[in-house]
Amino acid sequence: MRMLRLALFFLCAGLVVSRAGLLVHEGLGHGGVALALGGSVREVTLFWFGGGWVRTFTPPGDLRLLAVQLAGIGAELLVAAVLGLLAHRWAGQQRARLAQLGAVLFTAHALWYAATGIWHGFGDGAFLHERLGQLRYPVALALGAALCAVALLATRRLCRVLAPSLCGPWPSRLAAVLAAAALAGGAHAALAYGELALRQDETYRLTMRTAEQRLEDERLAAWRAELARRGAILIRQEDLLRAQKLAPPRPFPFARVLAAVALAAVVLGAWSLRRSEPGTPGEPGTPGTPSSELGAPLSNATLAWAAVAAFAAVSVVALAGL
């Protein structure tokens, strides 16, 4: 039961952070910087559970365009830093848990979006993907390494704080924290992808297409135009073979590999604490964890506030997108 309560807390916290992150990313980041640079915001679309997009006008200039495109990620990292400071200030209080989780999720999403976007050339990383050339790969690898480090260290920290509130042997408690996070993440992903499937936003779909996919679209369009010019009605076998040759080679699946490595870092972070149960003989507590945080289960008040905050966050995004 405590594991399910923790999963519910993770889901509510994830909704709060992701919805607040969407407003920060699109509004304060892209929209705010565009306005600050003398541009304007033309159109805004926000999904209740997924992402969103902002169409801005920016005066000509690569630096201005780069600033607007990276402003969303920068705004997320700024908010993560503020939440980290608040979590430190609130140490020993249950609200510190939400601040810690928020800081982790803001940082992880910013690093993930930057690394995969720069490598594959989609979303906010499309501009740097083009401008960096071959340097895009070491930059994306560095960001990915930072993401994995955050995943490992954050897992250790969150497990130190949350595992003592669960029941059972210490290794089982650590596994329960990971299971709760997986349940919450799966529920959030189901909500996001379900909404995207229902709304079918073409602008968002095109924005999130990778550079390889855009190149494939261009080549396919050129091939179809040539067929139309030749008056072809039926696609012959040689046309199919030519289309296959025009298709670009399958790119390295960096996003999938990074996801697997980050997941391994999470598991490693929890596994590294298997012999560090707080309160065991010879080890009175985990260094850096206030004793008042150890063993305190999530209260009904904390869960209630988290649920109210999640509902409010989704409602604000829904109203902002009208």
Take residue 115 and report the two structure tokens written for it: 């690394």
Amino acid at 261: V
* β-bridge partners, 53: 45
In whole numbers, what is the pLDDT of the chain averaged over residues?
85
Q: How many residues does the chain have?
A: 322
* Cα-Cα-Cα-Cα dihedral sign, residues 229, 232, 235, 238: negative
pLDDT given at position 277: 74
Please state, in angstroms and rounded to a whole number, the distance separating the CA atoms of residues 112 and 262.
10
Q: pLDDT tier at 306 (50, 70, 90 boundaries)?
A: confident
How does residue 195 score in pLDDT terms, banded at 50, 70 and 90?
very high
Taken in order 27, 310, 87, 180, the sign of the CA dihedral is negative
User: Average pLDDT of 213-224?
Assistant: 71
What is the Cα–Cα distance from 31 to 68, expressed in whole angstroms? 8
| 3: nearest Cα among 209, 163, 218 | 163
Interval 79-99: pLDDT, tens: 999 999 998 898 877 778 778
Tens digit of pLDDT for each residue in 91-146?
877 778 778 888 998 999 999 999 999 999 999 999 999 999 999 999 999 999 99
Nearest to 304 by CA among 292, 312, 293: 312
pLDDT > 90 fraction of the chain, expressed in percent and rounded? 52
* pTM of the entire predicted model: 0.82
